[in-house]
Amino acid sequence: MSQTANDPNRKSWISVPTDSDFPIQNIPFGVFLTRDDVITIGTRIGNTAIDLGALHQLGYFRDIPLTDDIFLQDTLNDFISDGQKTWRLVRNRIANIFDQNNKTLQHNKNHRKVVLFDLDEIEMQLPVQIGDYTDFYSSKEHATNVGSMFRDPNNALLPNWLHMPVGYHGRSSSIVPSGIPIHRPMGQTLPQGAETPVFGPSKLVDFELEMAFITTDANQLGEPISTEDAENYIFGMVLFNDWSARDIQKWEYVPLGPFLSKNFASSISPWIVTLDALEPFRVESPKQDPVPLPYLQYKGRKSFDIHLEVDIETKNTPPQTITKSNFKHMYWNMSQQLAHHTINGCKVNSGDMMGSGTISGTTKDSYGSMLELTWRGENPIILSDGSERKFIEDGDTITLKGYCKNDKVRIGFGEASNKLLPPFGSKKRK
Ligand code: MN
């Protein structure tokens, strides 16, 4: 099917600010609460949110095979289950409805009134009910940095790392959208030089700059998905901050991997940008040496040129960018991750979320965590008022941003912005 929604020359009758992440070529999907306290599935052009439930009721998706209530639900799971052909029909139709040359909705004031919302009239929700969440560890630079610090700089990568996209099963119950504050976790840690652990608030709370992809129902139990087919089952992507407590992590992670150091919170940007919208930004993944086993080999360009950055805002300082990275640095691409995840027959469902792993670049200003940026706190980040940050302090807000850009169009993800609060139930510090 021709992806007419991606036409870079199309203009919308809805105004789009310069450098907006959401031109008419994006057409992401999300779930929001309207000014009338109704939950609906929607999309966004510029700073206007569009109620797809209302559009459907008014007949704008006529001829597309959709159930009547598909956009009146509080998650995108059923729509995602409808499959790639339906996603494309709907995206193409939305592009057509909002094209500046289409006067139908543009000139219907009554319809516009129930379909369009200003962003400050809505509240974004989690876009999917996440059944299962998996986190990979697919940036070679990140795995090398963490291996150097936690174990041994001479054997930073464990022997399996170059042969498979290493991952672990995470916890979907604690994934929240942008805007929801996060509490500093309590837990066990082993102080430097001590032989027995202590209990208390984590002292080393960190962000992890990641992206995540959202799948549709991909297979039956027992059935693997090939690298060739994998992208047909990927609906889209979001920014993903995999909040981490490094001191808890260091004490607990052997032998089964991270547990409570990771599952207290992860936050995502609320608009799912479809893989289709990212099509113009395909790039090669890094060359893999050694050549992986046949089931992990792939053809074509399977990565995407997505610029990423992280800002920190504190009680005393305005937002300041502390790192810039790019999704294209990922050693293992999403197709390889999904093929590996299902090679044993593991079933993948609609709304499952797969984190990339922290995305670090090759230079010190492109690392995807405070752990790496400050090298365990040895080189603190200097804030604009002269104060220092080794890790994240109570009251700090971490914001992830991401976008793709060529000379015609910019497709972005908005942001995942969340504040760190003191431990649950504790009094606020002065
Ligand atoms: Mn992670």
pLDDT band at 348 (very low <50, low <70, confident <90, very high): very high
Give me the phi and psi of 359, to 5 degrees please: -105, 95
Same domain membership, residue 204 and residue 109: no
Report pLDDT for 427: 66
Same domain membership, residue 182 and residue 49: no
Q: What's the gap in Å between 28 CA and the centre of ligand 1?
A: 24
The structural domain count of the chain equals: 2
Residue showing tokens 């999907």: 29
Using only C-alpha atoms, what is the Rg of the chain? Answer: 22
330 and 138 Cβ atoms separated by less than 8 Å: yes
Q: What's the gap in Å between 159 CA and the centre of ligand 1?
A: 20
Q: Could you tell me which of 159, 77, 185 has the C-alpha nearest to residue 422?
A: 185
Cα angle for residues 162, 238, 86 (degrees, 5° grid): 105
Structure tokens at 12: 């919308």
Encode pLDDT of 195-233 as tens digits: 999 999 999 999 999 999 999 999 999 999 999 999 999
Q: What's the gap in Å between 168 CA and the centre of ligand 1?
A: 9
Check which CATH number belongs to the domain holding 51 and give it: 2.30.30.230
Task: Determine the longest span between alpha carbons in the chain, in angstroms.
Answer: 73
Same domain membership, residue 350 and residue 224: yes
Domain end marker among 64, 92, 124: 124
Q: Catalytic site residue 56?
A: no
Check which CATH number belongs to the domain holding 245 and give it: 3.90.850.10
pTM, to two decimals: 0.97
Same domain membership, residue 401 and residue 261: yes
**Dist. CA 353–CA 236, nearest whole Å:** 10
pLDDT band at 426 (very low <50, low <70, confident <90, very high): confident
Domain end marker among 100, 124, 148: 124
Average pLDDT value over all residues in the chain: 97
C-alpha separations of 51 from 226, 246, 332 in Å: 36, 41, 36
Q: What's the gap in Å between 357 CA and the centre of ligand 1?
A: 5
318 and 195 Cβ atoms separated by less than 8 Å: no
Q: What's the gap in Å between 410 CA and the centre of ligand 1?
A: 27
Same domain membership, residue 114 and residue 40: yes
182 occurs within a structural domain: yes
Q: What's the gap in Å between 46 CA and the centre of ligand 1?
A: 31
Q: What's the gap in Å between 208 CA and the centre of ligand 1?
A: 6
Encode pLDDT of 64-79 as tens digits: 999 999 999 999 999 9
Same domain membership, residue 213 and residue 108: no
**Dist. CA 289–CA 105, nearest whole Å:** 54
**Dist. CA 310–CA 323, nearest whole Å:** 6
Q: Is 187 helix (H, G, I), strand (E, B) or coil?
A: strand
Q: What's the gap in Å between 184 CA and the centre of ligand 1?
A: 17
Same domain membership, residue 246 and residue 150: yes
Residue showing tokens 């504040």: 419
Same domain membership, residue 259 and residue 150: yes
428 occurs within a structural domain: no
306 occurs within a structural domain: yes
pLDDT band at 36 (very low <50, low <70, confident <90, very high): confident
* Candidate list 56, 142, 329, 340, residue with the active-site label: 142
429 occurs within a structural domain: no
Same domain membership, residue 252 and residue 273: yes
Q: Could you tell me which of 127, 71, 60 has the C-alpha nearest to residue 98?
A: 60
Q: Which domain holds residue 16?
A: 4-124
Encode pLDDT of 293-331 as tens digits: 999 999 999 999 999 999 999 999 999 999 999 999 999
Q: What's the gap in Å between 242 CA and the centre of ligand 1?
A: 5
Report pLDDT for 57: 97
Distance of CA 352 to the CA centre of its chain: 12
Same domain membership, residue 272 and residue 403: yes
Close Cβ partners of 142 (under 8 Å, ≥ 6 residues apart): 357, 358, 359, 360, 367, 368, 369, 372
Same domain membership, residue 205 and residue 57: no
Encode pLDDT of 136-159 as tens digits: 999 999 999 999 998 899 999 999
Q: What's the gap in Å between 211 CA and the centre of ligand 1?
A: 10
427 occurs within a structural domain: no
430 occurs within a structural domain: no
**Dist. CA 56–CA 187, nearest whole Å:** 48
Stretch (H or E) spanning 236? strand 234-241
334 occurs within a structural domain: yes
pLDDT band at 430 (very low <50, low <70, confident <90, very high): very low
78 occurs within a structural domain: yes
C-alpha separations of 16 from 23, 110, 409 in Å: 6, 22, 12
Domain end marker among 104, 124, 144: 124
Residues with CB under 5 A from ligand 1 (ion): 135, 208, 242
Same domain membership, residue 223 and residue 186: yes
Report pLDDT for 35: 84
Residue ranges in 109-190 assigned as alpha helix (H): 109-115, 140-150
114 and 54 Cβ atoms separated by less than 8 Å: yes
